[in-house]
Homo-oligomer: A and B are copies of this chain.
């Protein structure tokens, strides 16, 4: 999970400071700035309970042109009413002034504890330092500053096929991970920021963001809890002067977002295993997604994976409550390619023993076939063990 060597993206620079938003002595405010107004698109949590920065960022991204992203950890600024809203406005205003741009060109994003207003004055006090520190190669500090319970910073990059342009992704997320992101209002905390120097149309940028998010961030879960603060924002500087087929952009975004989503699930609070669920044989992809989500969020499946137990009965039981029609007697399940269920019943104790050996590894594929239909969906899930309980039973204390 160590990030590969990543190069700067033309047109962007980054910075971070320790502003003591919640705890002293660690980077907790991050700034990304485009040299010129950049094309921007965003998807935001569909949770009805949304943090102030989500409302503001969604409103501002609608204009399609953005100069900066101001992100903080330590405080989600959610459920903070008018006070929280004003704090978000004040913090982006302070950064805008230091940059010499308009506040409406600055997108806010916050992650951390719910119910406490953002200490905007601490961010404002460091605005000058943040701007002075901007450098194209400081994306690593940006990634560091948005970590909460993350064990490692999350970065990924890809070339955009057929061009000299690149795409850089930075994300955070480990708990409250069950993103439900859309162009209409959404909530959890997964934050992801994508930066490209491609020269692209706004419509193509938006379409690529929605499609790639749906197949990646919206197809992963740590704990089934959708946050109040989730967002994915993409900025395109155009600084490479390169143009691409829309499909090449969509593929690069799906690759980078997929890598970030896998890193988030692997870093899920207390996670020891990442399973890629491949559900197939349903009437359509939506039905397959419903079954995958039901299995991926089942506590009994998650604790069985923690116990390295090939407990396929729990998988079938979770599939059966998804509200999707299928014939259980046609069910087939494999773990790491080892078939443990055929025609809805156990294959052999020996197969289960072999599967248990696969479950002892950090990452594996579980295939669940439920008939002959064309519907399929792939979903990333984690196991759930004692460390998750420890982290979340004591989060605020």
Interfacial residues, chain A to chain B (CB-CB below 8 A):
46-50, 76, 78-81, 83, 113-116, 175-176, 180, 187-188, 223-228, 297-300, 303-304, 306-307, 309, 311-314, 316-322, 324-326, 328-329, 341, 343-346, 384-386, 388-389, 392-397
Q: Can you spell out 19 A-B residue pairs with CB atoms less than 8 angstroms apart?
A: A48-B324, A49-B328, A80-B345, A81-B329, A81-B343, A83-B345, A114-B311, A115-B345, A116-B346, A176-B300, A187-B321, A224-B297, A225-B314, A225-B317, A228-B320, A303-B393, A307-B393, A307-B397, A384-B389
* A307 with B394, Cβ < 8 A, contacts A299-B223, A344-B79 known: yes
Is B225 in contact with A300, judged by CB distance below 8 angstroms? yes
Is B225 in contact with A114, judged by CB distance below 8 angstroms? no
Among residues of B, the one whose C-beta sits closest to the C-beta of A313 is B114
- Interface-centre pick from A300, A309, A322 (highest chain B CB count, 10 A): A300
On chain B, the residues within 8 Å of A388 by CB distance are 299, 303
Is B114 in contact with A314, judged by CB distance below 8 angstroms? yes
* A393 with B389, Cβ < 8 A, contacts A49-B317, A321-B187, A343-B81 known: no
On chain B, the residues within 8 Å of A81 by CB distance are 329, 343-345
CA distance A113 to B116 in the complex (A): 45
For the complex formed, measure the closest distance between the CB of A146 and the CB atoms of chain B, giving whole angstroms: 19
CA distance A325 to B46 in the complex (A): 12
CA distance A175 to B46 in the complex (A): 31
On chain B, the residues within 8 Å of A49 by CB distance are 316-317, 319-320, 328
Question: How many chain copies?
Answer: 2
On chain B, the residues within 8 Å of A329 by CB distance are 81
Is A307 in contact with B392, judged by CB distance below 8 angstroms? yes
CA distance A322 to B48 in the complex (A): 8
For the complex formed, measure the closest distance between the CB of A347 and the CB atoms of chain B, giving whole angstroms: 11
Is A318 in contact with B225, judged by CB distance below 8 angstroms? yes
Q: Taking A225-B317, A299-B392 as given, write out 14 further A-B residue pairs in contact, using a Cβ cutoff of 8 Å, ordered by the A residue number.
A: A49-B317, A50-B328, A78-B313, A79-B313, A79-B341, A81-B343, A175-B300, A188-B317, A223-B299, A225-B300, A300-B392, A307-B392, A385-B393, A386-B386
- Interface-centre pick from A76, A307, A309, A317 (highest chain B CB count, 10 A): A317
For the complex formed, measure the closest distance between the CB of A297 and the CB atoms of chain B, giving whole angstroms: 8
Q: Which 6 A-B pairs have the closest CB atoms?
A: A114-B313, A49-B320, A307-B393, A303-B392, A48-B320, A47-B320
On chain B, the residues within 8 Å of A313 by CB distance are 76, 78-79, 113-115, 228
Is B321 in contact with A226, judged by CB distance below 8 angstroms? yes
* A317 with B47, Cβ < 8 A, contacts A175-B300, A392-B303 known: yes
For the complex formed, measure the closest distance between the CB of A377 and the CB atoms of chain B, giving whole angstroms: 17
On chain B, the residues within 8 Å of A307 by CB distance are 392-395, 397
Is B396 in contact with A317, judged by CB distance below 8 angstroms? no
